[in-house]
Amino acid sequence: MDILKIEKTSDTPNVTLDSTNNLFEFSYRSLPENAIDFYNPILDWIEEYSKNPNNETVVDFKLEYFNTASAKQIAKVLLKLLEISKKAKVKINWYYDKNDTDMLASGQRYSKLINLEFEFIEI
């Protein structure tokens, strides 16, 4: 399967979705004005990947900030991963800055709403 790699800009994150090397990561910031457009190719990739996922998928969320428009798209990403978790192991590593309790709270909210395994990692 093709690797999806998106380089960060001042308002969008680094995204790596690489099934061959089993690397799945979102980092930096997600603040785009139009979050739907940004996340559509990501959702399409995960949809495709879900047809034949790896035995174990660990997704690292290392975001510094995201806006509410992205929050909704991230929820969609997690729901797609939830589908995968029905046939393979899926784990979310949710990183947060120790000064940023809002980022921790956001992760905890997702973990309550979406039945995936979450680990919260302070950096």
The answer to whether residue 5 forms part of the interface with another protein (CB under 8 A) is no
State the SS3 of 26-90.
EEEEECCCCHHHHHHHHHHHHHHHCCCCCCEEEEEEEEEEECHHHHHHHHHHHHHHHHHCCCCEE
- Using alpha carbons only, how large is the chain's radius of gyration in Å? 13
The answer to whether 62 contacts another protein (rule: CB under 8 A) is: no
Q: Are 90 and 117 in contact (CB under 8 A)?
A: yes
Asked whether position 11 contacts another protein by CB under 8 A, the answer is yes
Q: Does 120 contact another protein by CB under 8 A? A: no
Cβ atoms of 15 and 25 within 8 Å: the answer is yes
Number of residues that bind another protein (CB under 8 A): 25
Q: Does 82 bind another protein (CB under 8 A)?
A: no
Of these, 13, 32, 53, 107, which contacts another protein (CB under 8 A)?
Answer: 32
Contact range with another protein by CB under 8 A, out of 43-51, 54-62, 82-90, 98-106: 98-106
Binding site for another protein (CB under 8 A): 10-11, 31-36, 65, 67-69, 71-72, 75-76, 97, 99-103, 109, 112-113
